[in-house]
Structure 1
Amino acid sequence: MPRFRASVTVLVIGFIAAGCAAVHEAGCAQGEQRSVNDVLYFGTSRAAGTITSAQWSGFLRSAVTPRFPEGLTAWPASGQWRTAGGAIVHEASFVLILVHPDDDTSETSVRAIIGEYKSRFDQEAVLRVKSHACVSF
């Protein structure tokens, strides 16, 4: 019987510890909201020529702002990446940050923005870095 009781105690402690870890991970301080912080990296090179600042601004106006009218942050950047052959390629890019609720509507909107950019500007990929954040104003 003591062995059974010890096993049950270990299991209960394990479940409690796992529950505490989940609460800590998901929890935000008082006055903060749990949100998603998406950072998107858009390359500008393509066969038809570099995507211009004017084209980028038009894309923000038509594809991003209607989906995230609450706000966004964007800026031009200079990036680099390694090809399969090992060469380093430098490319001008645009970075977009979207802080939004962790819900299906926002997720669908981010995916639509990525898809539209790839289609409109003949891009193979858009890098997305998605993380959870605690946000306050």
Structure 2
Amino acid sequence: MRAIPILGLLVLATLAGCAPASRDEALCARFGAHRGIEISLLFGLTRPDGGVVTDAEWADFLRREVTPRFPDGLSVFQAMGQWRDRVSGQVTAEPSRIVWIAADASAPDLRARLDAIRAGYRHDFQQQSVGLTIRGGCQTF
């Protein structure tokens, strides 16, 4: 068995750890973009009593709670969602909204802003949860 010099192992370990980030940075640079994250917030529109969050209520929530926390821009998509009730175990389909936000992951208050939106919606519309998905990517505007 042939031994690899310690310095060689350190170089390989360093390159292995940086290679994905370097590739991502190079890909972003190719398009004049920078690294960032994509956030999706998933809002169900059916209330526990069977009523629905109206378009006017949704627009008001978006105006009061979401837009002030992400004034640089966001997108809202209408969707049909499906989820399992935590109490009954029943799978339910319902109309929903997806708010998509491109953000700088290094913003120090990002989590607090997202937590406030999610908590506000759960409170205002008696929801068990508001979904949150985050993934990395490249951004330029």
Shift of the 88–47 alpha-carbon distance from structure 1 to 2, 3 Å rule, reads closer
Q: TM-score, normalised by structure 2?
A: 0.81
Alignment of 1:49-128 (within 5 A): 49-83=51-85, 87-102=90-105, 103-128=107-132
| Structure 1 residues 22-73: Cα deviation after superposition (integer angstroms, max 9, x where no partner) | 4334552252022221111101121352111110000000001111111111
Identity in percent? 32
Of the structure 1 ranges 26-35 and 91-100, higher mean CA displacement relative to structure 2 is found in: 26-35
Offset at 1:125?
A: 0.3
CA RMSD of aligned residues (A): 2.2
Offset at 1:93?
A: 0.9
Offset at 1:75?
A: 2.5
* Conserved 8 A contact 2:48-2:127: no
Structure 1: tracts of 5 or more residues without a match: none
Q: TM-score, normalised by structure 1?
A: 0.83
Partner secondary structure for residue 123 of structure 2: helix
* Conserved 8 A contact 2:40-2:98: yes
Alignment size in residue pairs: 134
